[in-house]
Amino acid sequence: MEHFTPVSAAIGGTLIGLSAALLWLTNGRIAGISGIVGSLWSPRTGDVAWRIAFIIGLVASPVLYATAGGTIPKITIPASSVIVITAGLLVGFGTRLGGGCTSGHGVCGLARLSPRSLTATALFMTTGVATSFVLRHLIGA
């Protein structure tokens, strides 16, 4: 664990939790990214502005952080484009199959003590650990 940063992780987790709680308390909405983005394709009347603002906030936050003097780490993905695209499609499929994503189930659903979210999050994590194990230790990727 060469990049262990408990303080920044705790601050980031706190901000994510506060944001999710604020969205729920002010709008009665769950801060699940797949649901927020997915509902833009067939929005209800008056349901677009907050979704777009939320997505803009996700994109603008690192830019504002860097503007304020923060250092954004360079992200490198050692996998080929085909693997990255395939992985993205599988995640999208799993998100639809699971009725939500890790942010909706893992952050918001667990906070609401939802049994469905507990099951979904356990499956997300188990699948991630198993995939990582297979790729790193059995296949050697």
Q: Coil, helix or strand for 38?
A: helix
Residue type, 46: G
Would you say 62 and 73 are in contact if contact means Cβ atoms under 8 Å apart?
A: no
Read off the pLDDT of residues 8-67 as tens digits, 9 standing for 90 and up. Answer: 889 988 998 898 899 889 888 888 888 888 888 887 888 888 899 989 998 998 899 999
Predicted TM-score of the model (pTM): 0.73
The angle subtended at Cα 132 by Cα 127 and Cα 135, nearest 5°, is 120
Read off the pLDDT of residues 58-105 as tens digits, 9 standing for 90 and up. Answer: 899 889 999 999 888 888 888 889 988 998 888 888 888 888 888 888
